[in-house]
Structure 1
Amino acid sequence: MTRMRRRQFLQFAGGAVASLGFSQLDIQKQSLRYAQVLAQDNARKLALLVGINTYPTAPLYGCVTDVELQRELLVHRFGFNPKNILTVTDAQATRKGILRAFEEHLIKQAKPGDVAVFHYSGHGSQVNDPDKDTRDGLNGTLVPVDSVSGQEQGRQVVNDIMGHTLFLLMSAVPTDNLTMVLDSCFSGGGKRGNMRVRSINRLARESGGVFPNREELAYQQQWLSRLKMSADEFKQKRRTGVAKGVVIASANRNQFASDATFDGFNAGAFTYHMTKYLWQQTGETPVVGAIANISRRTTQENDQDPELECTPQCDPNSVADQRPFYFLNASTAPAEAVITDVSGNQMTCWLGGIETSNPLDKNTILAVVDDQSQELAKVKLESRTGLIGKGTLLQGNAQAFKPGALLQEEVRGIPTNLMLRIGLDPSLETGMSEAKAALVSASRIEAAELGEGQVDYILGRITSKDRKRLQGRVPTVPEVGMLGLFTPTKENILSDSFSGATDESAADAVLRLQAKFKLLLANRILRAILNPSSSKLGVTATVVPIGAESRALAATRTRGSDLVTTAITPEVGEVKPGDNIQIQVKNQETQDLYISVLGIGSDGEMTVLFPSDYTAATDASLVGAGQTLKVPQAGRDDYDFVVSGPAGTIEVIVLASARSLRDTLKGLKKIASRSGQRPGEPLAISEPSAVVEGLLGDLTDTTRAFLKVQRQETQQIDATQLAALSLSLNVVE
């Protein structure tokens, strides 16, 4: 989905935010109000970060990493003093420990105008709400590490921290510049696909429901007394909205919050994507637009739709809401990494701004930059383990090579043998070893145990639970027993991969899916070169509806773009079958650029949208300096880009290169010739792996022309010579 909803995670309020219609005067007034709530430069910045992995039952693995992700971001991008960041993790995060830390660190220390951040990563749950604020009569909770259940007056009770309690604590913080991030949920529990759910589902186990214990209710009464707030006033306020500031929840009320497995580390899917996004952003970053763009990744990859609630009330679907993330503008340049330790000419760095799709192999070159992104030195990455990288100073100002120095990607090293990782689901049962052997024998396919690393897809059989969950998600739900590919969370499927019989063997399914694997591998390689946050080329890409070109459906830009806007359209848009759309790509460089545009459907099928004349010279894809390419364009292209059903996702990939992509075009010409494709029409790629490999060869040749860093086991992509951007369109019926 693309439209964010007002969060109901802690049920401070009942319904979703209604779409607001802003007049120009409304926008001016609102922008002024948000400018006034931007924290002053001399404001103190306080943060309380809570992460719990070591639950006695149902342990998690990525919550302490979330704390580290937030801490490094707040210190190195938003200028927090490390002394003003309090971390409470694992055994420290008892009920009393969390509440004491909130009172002592945020409530007692914050002053009006200061900035305060509270982050929680851990399990969530639910208890019966005595006031029944919501239709189901439940209130969300945070589960401390010492959470216990017991009996009081014949009822099952727990010592969780209720959403009602958090409302009171927020009310007591003296500043309005408060941001609360909650990476937990209260749906389900246990494992789902390649992730664990950050929830303890007590209601399914306990008859009669679960209630807050006396200690929790007494604590609320203490705060009502301190705040001089009556019970009726408390009820009315929390049903109206959040107490103050901004609350961000990692998933909507009926979804799972993923404790996800990435390449070499575990983290909350939302926290990782959020902090990575904030590392990469240039200029001002409004929280509304940021959550919309972060949602694009969490929805596609983790089936999570983050939710947002603000005071004054925010409109998640309006570009008029300009309050910045954390009520602050970033105090440093965007970056992919930060140096954490130096010994001689060797360094260790934190790779918090790196995309999960970015393999970042050895021979990657990183630039040490100042706060204005001016290069001071070059570093070569020698190794990477999860979020930790190690490298060597190559050249430049040795004085700048120090802890705290920011690193921007300059040349990306991509392994020549990049693999497609397929997880094996327990539903394969006795066919597990058979499936593994068949996958291993396939070219560039790796079979993986779930929970042992990041996977691209999961091979499994449809179970009765799967069928129930998929109802309404896909047009045709496969029969129980059919084999095919799931997304990593198992919340969705690649529908066209389930075409075999219910008694099909795992080996036969792998054989049947060979063409699909090649297509998915090509997509994996293509995504490995996406670099909007690091490209130095100035390129913007926009999708607009024909007949209303002034209204952008989706937009994105490179770091090198001079388009600095505080209200940029999100990178994901919403379209309906029958909509006629156009892609516009602007070359903001002073040099001409070679541009290609590809479309990828929900099933992974790839189509070249531009250039559409494969018989023309390579210069046919050249777009002049300062010019805008329109795809399709009347008089040049013999087609319209009309959206068709069913519901799903269309991804648009834009490639802009300083040098011609000759090998890529040669491959396209061969495919067009064999298929009888005539010039001027989009070309469906029947041999995606060969075309993408040709593209990588072109890009490596381009890099080789500028930097002598080529090695056989690695292909290099130069951020000064290539821009690779992605936009998504969700098709809704």
Structure 2
Amino acid sequence: MAWRRRDFLQALGLTCGALGFSSFLRPSDLKQSVQALSQFRGRKIALLIGIDQYGQGPNLGGCQQDLKIQKHLLESRFGFAATDIVTLRNDQASGSGIFTTFQTDLKTQVKPEDLVFVHFSGYGTRLVTDPADPEPIPALVLPGKSGPEAIALSTFQALIQDLNPAQGILVLDTSFDPGSRPPAPYWRPRTYPDETAIAPVVAPETTTVKSNSSFALGRSALIHLWAATEGITPEVQINGVMTGLFTAALGQYLSAYDPMVTVTTAQTNLAVRLPKDETQPATMTFLGTKTAPLYGTLPSDTLPATGQIFSQNPTGLEVYLGGFEPEILQAIAPGSELTIRTETAPILQLSGKAGVFGQGKSSTPNVTVGTAIQETKRHLPRNLALKIALAEDLSRIERVDATSAFASLTNIASVSNPQDWVDYVFDEAYQLTTVPGKIVPGVVPASDTNEAIKSSVNRLLPRLEQLLALKWLRLLVNETSTQLPLKVTVQRLDRFSTLLTAKTTPFSLGQSKSNPNPQPTFTVGEKGQYQLENTGTQPLFCLGFAQSPKQELLLLTAKEGLKIPPETATSPLELTALRPLGVWTIYWIIGDRPFENFQDQATQLFGDLETIPQRLEKSLPLIQGLLSDLQAVPPEGTEPNKENYVFSTTQWAGLRFTYTVVETEASS
């Protein structure tokens, strides 16, 4: 079904002068004045919309989890009263339900001094227009009596404007472009797959909404937090629960990195942390007055933390664990320990997980809901393996053969269950791809077009081992919870020795978690340097690794690592921007003891390492040696944990940096 732009907007009760999608993307339209937040005295009112069920059409599965996350953040971090949070779920969020909520319920509540926070999780789409007016109209897909219907994004924004609050925030965990891979149990793009089946919402006859051509809302600019203005954003399985990746990323950043993050800081820092579809990158947008807090108001709790106590019941505690990165949260095992931030600092031991929430028991009976918790010991299974999904296009026999073949790769890779987190996909061409559908670089191509599945899996084995080593490095990142005293800086070797990025641990109250340039750009051959400083009273030991855009692994230090004496900085470590072009990831792994097992493995594999950086062709044994080196010393009289690696935040740090290598102008 094709809709003319004029007809569509008129069906929504708007004129052709309504604010269009292109207007949303012009920061120059933003009103540059913002209400002084220290003087904000109004109510904080929220409308949370989550739609999983669309009737007979394709459904989603993570939108209710998104609402649970947002409601918790608003109450625990930003001081929203539970009675001031309105929730619309599934068929409650029909077109008529949304118009009624805005124009009747909220209209009578919102005063000019109030803040209004609106979150939408559900499908988005771009409706097809005729050649005379070819610009597609972005819209939010809603459940209707006769099938899905859509409300123009400009109309949705106008409904917030019509309330005329002092500050408005619009969070959209949706996308408008189709993905490169069809939906699967572990991955579902939030773009409605069939825009021709969608009808426009018909506005009530009493609707008098007038869309404004600027972002002005009362005294402040409307803040927009969009998961994807272009490209796609997905929902994924985290601990058996579908969750919007953008909502999870917002929760992680606001919890563990910087509760006081501003619009500008979010655009530069959060953007590089949100995983994207590599074949069709999502273009996230954070619009609003640059210095405005991301959620429009200062948080009531400003200390970064792994999470908070969510609820208490006779059997234990439910805790929010959104401060962990999703991949780490998926991997950590029961027995992991967190400290409850009180005067007595009781210990909470994790017993289970569901989505970004967990269950556990405290060492003391009385704890306060909403109290922050911080990671102290991370348990990771020794038998952790890559989770491989089988492409939907594989036949039943192929799926049986592939499951059997991967089962033989003990502690390397296994076929995932439908509710599992997925690392990679084994596709119909017997190749290994990322979840969004990009072929993993470095895989040896098949020599025979009729290659059997078992032979294909064996062909992939060296690459799977390398990918597992890289996964282990990602799981060692703990820069928001480590207690080791460090400062690491990255500089460009120009005449000004320009500081690009700096990270200091441990995090402290009021400390900024942002970086001046979290993902700097170097041209091929350009020089930079790292410097690591031990600001504590005990010696520290450090190994450096680089992951190339082709997912190769390089060692940046000698095999014995660097020893950093107390209150001492290392000599500058030179960085040369190498090919291949693209994003490079650097890991600095720091411990309080020498890396003896790593060194032994390196000696067996390579002898004397003379070339730095050194490409690591067989990296998994080396990383396994590193894991043994970082293992926390068990209490006297107890045996080491045989099922899990146990890492203590007082004994290990994992810091990650990224930079992009581009071609020089002369050769581009």
TM-score (norm 1): 0.79
Partner of 2:439: 493
Task: Look up the match of 2:172.
Answer: 182
Deviation at 1:268, TM superposition (A): 1.0
* 2:602 alignment partner in structure 1: 668
Q: Render the CA deviation track for 1:373-417: whole Å, top value 9, x for unaligned.
A: x6621111222233332222225xx44x23322221111111111
Match of 1:472? none
Distance 2:286 2:226 in 1: 9
2:143 pairs with 137, 145, 152, which one? 145
Aligned mate of 2:287, from 296, 310, 321: 310
- Mapped to 1, the partners of 2:134 and 2:472 lie a distance apart of 46
| Cα pair 1:555 1:572 within 8 Å, conserved | no
Shift in Å, 1:179: 1.2
State the match for 1:247 in structure 2: 224
What amino acid is the match of 1:651? T
User: Which amino acid counterpart does residue 79 of structure 2 have in structure 1?
Assistant: G
Mapping for residues 17-416 of structure 1, pairs under 5 Å: 36-38=35-37, 40=39, 42-56=41-55, 57-104=57-104, 106-127=106-127, 136-146=134-144, 148=146, 159-188=149-178, 191-192=182-183, 194-203=186-195, 205=196, 212=200, 215-216=202-203, 222-224=208-210, 234=212, 236-237=213-214, 244-253=221-230, 255-282=231-258, 284-300=260-276, 304-312=281-289, 321-332=290-301, 333-343=303-313, 346-358=316-328, 359-370=331-342, 376-394=345-363, 398-399=365-366, 401-416=367-382
Note the residue ranges of structure 1 that are not aligned, 5 or more in a row: 1-8, 21-28, 150-157, 313-320, 462-480, 634-639
- Of the candidates 599, 621, 632, which is equivalent to residue 573 of structure 2? 632
Q: 1:587 aligns with which of 534, 537, 552?
A: 534
Of all paired residues, the percent bearing the same amino acid is 23
3-state SS of paired residue (1:497): coil
Match of 2:386 in 1: 420
Q: 1:131 to 1:437 in 2, by over 3 A?
A: closer
Closer, same or farther: CA 274–163 of 1 in aligned 2, 3 Å? same
Deviations 1:220-239 (A, max 9, x none): 6x112xxxx7xxxx4x5479
Aligned to 2:562: 621
Task: Tell me the CA shift for residue 506 of structure 1.
Answer: 2.1
Structure 1 contact 599–607 (Cα < 8 Å) conserved: yes
Cα deviation per residue 1:466-485 (whole Å; 9 max; x = unaligned)?
Answer: xxxxxxxxxxxxxxx4x321
Contact conserved, 2:539 with 2:592, CA < 8 A, in 1? Answer: yes
Report how many residues are paired.
Answer: 635
Query: 2:590 aligned with 1:656, yes or no?
Result: yes
Matched, 1:711 2:641: yes
CA distance in 2: counterparts of 1:437 and 1:183, whole angstroms: 38
Computed over aligned residues only, the root mean square deviation of the Cα atoms, in angstroms, reads 3.4
2:9 aligns to what? none
Mark the CA change 1:406 to 1:441 in structure 2 (over 3 Å): closer, same or farther: same
Counterpart of 2:477 in 1: which secondary structure? Answer: coil
Name the CA shift for 1:114/1:39 in 2 (closer, same or farther; >3 Å).
farther
- 1:542 CA drift (Å): 3.6
Q: 1:66 to 1:732 in 2, by over 3 A?
A: farther
| In 2, Cα distance between equivalents of 1:37 and 1:88 | 31
2:570 aligned counterpart, secondary structure: strand
| Mapped partners of 2:550, 2:221: distance in 1 | 43
Q: Could you say which residue in structure 2 is the equivalent of 1:473?
A: none
Instruction: Provide the rounded CA distance (Å) in 2 between the counterparts of 1:559 and 1:602.
Output: 29
Q: Is the 8 A contact 1:51 1:88 kept in 2?
A: yes
What secondary structure sits across from 1:78 in the alignment? coil
- Partner of residue 677, structure 1: 609
Cα 1:581/1:555, change in 2 over 3 Å: same
Return the structure number with greater helix share.
Answer: 1
Distance 2:348 2:641 in 1: 17
Give the superposition deviation at 1:669: 3.3
Question: 1:624 and 1:148, CA in 2 relative to 1: closer, same or farther beyond 3 A?
Answer: farther
Segments of 5+ residues of structure 2 without an aligned counterpart are: 1-18, 664-668
Q: How far apart are the structure 1 equivalents of 2:585 and 2:94?
A: 44
Q: What is the distance in 2 between the residues matched to 1:365 and 1:623? A: 28
State which drifts further: 422-431 or 444-453. 444-453
Q: Assess, with a 3 A threshold, how the Cα gap between structure 1 residues 720 and 261 changes in structure 2: closer, same or farther.
A: same
Match of 2:630 among 682, 695, 699: 699
Q: CA deviation at 1:85?
A: 1.3
- SS for the counterpart of 2:155 is helix
> What is the CA deviation profile of residues 603-653 of structure 1, one whole-angstrom value per residue up to 9, with x for unaligned ones?
33211112x2x4xxx5x61223444435524xxxxxx523223x3321100
**CA gap 1:14/1:42 in 2 versus in 1, 3 angstroms:** closer
Q: Distance in 1 between matches of 2:152 and 2:206?
A: 11
Question: How far 1:519 sits from its partner (Å)?
Answer: 0.9
